C-alpha cells in the first residue's frame, strides 16, 4: 500500500495584522509571567516596518514570532530602556535611514522547542539586515538565570562575563552567543517586568560581514504620493433613499475622476435621510430612525468604493450595537471591498444629552493600499492621546469627518487638527457639512471649511494648509500628499516631534480590555 502521509510544513514569513491574535496567544504561552503586548502595539510594529516582523508557521499554527525595526547607531548603542528605544512598544522610532536593525522581541512556542524556531527567526533577522545593507543587528537580550545566581554575581556585568566564559549557563544568553552575537555591555532597568533578569538586559550585537560603507545605499522607497479629496457635503431634504444615494455617488464619481485615493465625507452626513420621516421626530427618535438605514448604507458605500476604485471614508453614521446602545461610527470602505470601522470615543455633551450617543472604546490604525491611516470623528480630534496612538501604530494620514454649527465650533476642530499634524508629523484631512435641515433636531445649521492640513516645516504647504474649501459652500478640496516628506521631516526636520519625545519621562498607558 502506498504511504500517503503528508510531511509537516514549516514556513517563516512576514507577519500581517491578521496574525495579531495568534501572536498574542503565543506571547501568553511563551512568557506566562510577563504581561503581553497590546494588540495596538503589534499592529504598530507591523505597520511601521512590515519587512521586519516575522512569524514561524507550523502546520497552520503560529509557533514563533519576532519584531524588529531600524534605528540609528548613536541611539542603538547609547544607554536606553525597552520603552525608550521602541517608542513604548510600537516601533515608533523606526527610521528607514538608520544603520542598525534593532530586535524588539522574540517568542517561541514552548511545546515546539525542537523545531529550531529561534534559530530560524535570528537567521531571518540577519538576512533582513544584509538585504537592507545595514551594519548589523543589536538588541537587549534577556538573562533569565541572573535572579537565581544574584548572590554569586551581584553585578549583572559579572554574571554576563561568567556566561561568556562558560562558567555558568544561561538559557537565553548562551543561545544568543551560539548565534554569533557578542555582548557590548549591560542595559540597566531595561525591562522592569522581566523579574528573572532583574530588569536588566545584555546589549547583544551581530555585525554584518557583508556591510559596505556607501554614501547613499538607495534603500529609501520611491516617493509615495497619496491624493485625498475632502467632500464638503450639503445637507438637503430628499424624497427617497435613492435620491440621497445619487447625491453621494455624484461626489464619489467626481473624486474618482480626479484620481483620488481617498474620498472623505463629513460626520453624520446621513441625517438627510431623516427628511423622509412622515412626522417631526424627537432627537432620540431621529437617531433611532437613522440606525435602521445602516445595512443598506454599508452595502451601498462598499459597492461604490469597489466600482469607482477609490477608498471612501464614509463620514460617520449612528449605529446600534448588539447591546442596544447607539454609537457614532465612521465606516471606511476600501476599494478591495473590505469595510473597517472607527467608533467616536468622545461624544459631545449635546450628543449625549439629545441623542443618547455612547462613546466607543477602541482606536486603531487601519491598513490600506496607501499605508496605515487613522480616523478621528470631530470632537475626538480635540484629545491628543488618540492621534498619538494612531501615529504610533503607523498612520501617516488621519481623517477627521466633522459636523459643527458655527465658526467657533469649526475652529476648535481646525486648530486641534493643526496641533495633531504638528505633534505627530502626520497629514490631517477634515471634511464638514454645510447647509441646513430645518426639521432635524440638533442638526439645524452647519458651518464648515474643510481642509487638508500638513505639518509646519519647509517641505510642506505654506501655513500648513495643502487645500482649503470655500466657507460653507458645497465643494471638494483636493490635494496631493507626499508621504516621503513625512519620513524626511521625522528624520531631519527643523523639529522632530516624534523622535524627540522623552520616553524616559512619560508614556500613554492604554486599557488592555478595551483593546483586545
Output the CA–CA distances (angstroms, integers) from residue 140 to 10, 204, 500, in the order listed.
28, 6, 21
Residue 282 C-alpha cell reads as 424627537
Output the CA–CA distances (angstroms, integers) from residue 421 to 119, 387, 391, 430, 460, in the order listed.
42, 9, 10, 12, 11
Annotated catalytic residue: which of 343, 344, 358, 474?
344
Rg (CA), the chain: 26
Euclidean distance between CA atoms 152 and 166, whole angstroms: 15
Largest Cα–Cα separation, the chain: 86
Which pLDDT value is given to residue 484?
87
Which pLDDT value is given to residue 507?
84
Which letter does DSSP use for residue 223 in this model? P
**358 CB contacts (<8 Å, ≥6 apart)?**
321, 325, 326, 327, 347
Which pLDDT value is given to residue 443?
64
Which pLDDT value is given to residue 512?
61
Euclidean distance between CA atoms 103 and 100, whole angstroms: 10
Euclidean distance between CA atoms 37 and 22, whole angstroms: 12
Euclidean distance between CA atoms 283 and 277, whole angstroms: 13
For the CA atoms of 279, 284, 288, 293, the dihedral, rounded to the nearest 10 degrees, stands at 70
**458 CB contacts (<8 Å, ≥6 apart)?**
493, 494
Euclidean distance between CA atoms 372 and 395, whole angstroms: 5
**150 CB contacts (<8 Å, ≥6 apart)?**
159, 198
Other beta carbons within 10 Å of 143: 28
Let me know if 400 is a catalytic residue.
no
Annotated catalytic residue: which of 66, 255, 378, 400?
378
Which pLDDT value is given to residue 210?
86
Euclidean distance between CA atoms 177 and 161, whole angstroms: 12
Other beta carbons within 10 Å of 16: 13
Residue 38 C-alpha cell reads as 497590546
Which pLDDT value is given to residue 222?
45
**142 CB contacts (<8 Å, ≥6 apart)?**
172, 173, 191, 194, 196, 197, 201
Which pLDDT value is given to residue 274?
87
User: What's the start-to-end Cα distance of the chain, in Å?
Assistant: 50
Annotated catalytic residue: which of 84, 105, 255, 267?
267
Reduce the DSSP state of residue 310 to 3 states and report it: coil
How does pLDDT run along the chain (516 residues), one tens digit per residue? 344 444 457 899 999 999 999 999 999 999 998 888 999 999 999 999 999 999 999 988 999 999 999 999 999 999 999 999 999 999 999 998 899 999 999 999 998 877 889 999 999 999 999 999 999 999 999 999 999 999 999 999 999 999 999 999 999 999 999 999 999 999 999 999 999 999 999 999 999 988 887 644 444 444 589 999 999 999 888 899 999 999 999 999 999 999 999 999 999 999 989 888 877 778 788 888 899 999 999 999 999 999 999 999 999 999 998 888 999 999 999 999 999 999 999 999 989 988 899 999 989 999 999 999 999 999 999 999 999 999 999 899 999 999 999 999 999 999 999 999 999 999 999 999 998 877 666 567 899 999 999 999 999 988 999 999 999 999 999 999 999 899 889 888 999 998 888 888 888 888 765 444
Structural domains of the chain ordered from first start: 10-207 (3.40.630.30), 225-492 (3.60.110.10)
Amino acid at each position: 500500500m502506498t504511504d500517503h502521509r503528508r510531511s509537516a510544513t514549516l514556513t517563516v514569513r512576514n507577519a500581517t495584522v491578521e496574525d495579531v491574535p495568534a501572536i498574542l496567544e503565543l506571547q501568553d504561552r511563551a512568557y506566562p509571567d510577563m504581561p503581553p503586548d497590546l494588540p495596538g502595539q503589534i499592529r504598530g510594529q507591523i505597520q511601521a516596518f512590515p519587512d521586519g516582523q516575522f512569524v514561524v508557521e507550523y502546520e497552520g499554527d503560529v509557533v514563533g514570532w519576532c519584531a524588529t525595526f531600524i534605528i540609528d547607531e548613536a541611539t542603538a548603542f547609547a544607554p536606553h530602556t525597552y520603552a525608550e528605544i521602541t517608542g513604548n512598544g510600537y516601533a515608533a522610532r523606526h527610521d528607514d535611514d538608520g544603520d542598525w536593525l534593532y530586535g524588539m522581541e522574540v517568542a517561541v512556542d514552548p511545546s515546539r522547542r525542537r523545531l529550531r524556531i529561534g534559530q530560524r527567526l535570528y537567521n531571518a533577522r540577519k538576512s533582513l539586515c544584509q538585504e537592507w545593507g545595514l551594519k548589523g543587528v543589536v538588541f537587549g537580550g534577556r538573562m533569565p538565570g541572573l535572579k537565581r545566581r544574584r548572590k554569586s554575581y551581584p553585578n549583572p556585568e559579572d554574571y554576563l562575563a561568567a556566561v561568556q566564559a562558560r562558567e555558568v549557563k544561561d538559557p537565553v544568553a548562551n543561545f544568543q552567543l551560539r548565534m554569533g552575537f557578542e555582548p557590548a555591555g549591560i542595559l540597566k532597568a531595561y525591562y522592569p517586568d522581566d523579574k528573572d533578569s532583574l530588569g536588566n538586559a545584555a546589549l547583544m550585537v551581530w555585525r554584518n560581514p557583508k556591510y559596505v560603507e556607501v554614501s547613499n545605499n538607495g534603500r529609501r522607497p520611491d516617493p509615495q504620493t497619496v491624493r485625498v479629496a475632502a467632500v464638503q457635503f450639503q445637507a438637503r431634504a430628499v424624497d427617497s433613499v435613492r435620491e440621497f444615494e445619487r447625491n453621494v455617488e455624484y461626489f464619489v464619481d467626481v473624486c474618482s475622476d480626479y484620481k483620488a485615493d481617498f474620498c472623505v465625507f463629513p460626520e453624520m452626513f446621513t441625517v438627510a435621510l431623516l427628511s423622509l420621516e412622515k412626522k417631526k421626530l424627537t432627537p432620540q427618535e431621529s437617531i433611532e430612525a437613522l440606525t435602521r438605514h445602516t445595512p443598506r448604507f454599508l452595502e451601498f458605500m462598499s459597492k461604490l468604493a469597489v466600482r469607482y476604485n477609490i477608498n471612501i471614508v464614509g463620514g460617520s453614521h449612528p449605529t446600534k450595537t448588539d447591546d442596544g446602545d447607539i454609537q457614532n461610527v465612521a465606516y471606511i470602505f476600501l476599494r478591495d471591498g473590505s469595510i473597517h470601522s472607527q467608533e467616536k470615543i468622545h461624544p459631545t455633551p449635546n450628543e449625549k444629552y439629545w441623542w443618547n450617543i455612547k462613546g466607543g472604546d477602541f482606536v486603531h490604525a487601519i491598513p490600506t493600499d496607501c499605508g496605515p491611516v487613522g480616523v478621528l470623528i470631530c470632537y475626538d480630534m480635540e484629545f491628543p492621546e488618540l492621534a498619538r496612538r494612531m501615529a504610533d501604530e503607523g498612520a501617516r494620514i488621519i481623517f477627521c469627518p466633522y459636523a459643527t454649527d458655527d465658526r467657533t465650533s469649526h475652529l476648535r476642530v481646525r486648530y486641534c487638527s493643526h496641533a495633531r499634524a504638528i505633534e505627530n508629523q502626520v497629514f490631517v484631512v477634515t471634511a464638514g457639512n454645510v447647509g441646513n435641515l430645518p426639521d432635524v433636531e440638533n442638526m439645524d445649521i452647519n458651518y464648515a471649511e474643510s481642509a487638508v492640513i500638513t505639518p509646519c516645516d519647509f517641505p510642506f504647504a505654506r501655513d500648513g494648509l495643502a487645500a482649503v474649501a470655500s466657507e460653507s459652500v458645497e465643494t471638494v478640496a483636493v490635494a496631493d500628499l507626499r508621504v516621503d516628506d513625512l519620513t524626511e521631516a521625522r528624520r531631519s526636520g527643523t523639529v522632530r516631534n516624534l523622535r524627540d519625545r522623552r520616553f524616559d519621562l512619560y508614556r500613554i498607558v492604554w486599557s488592555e480590555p478595551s483593546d483586545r
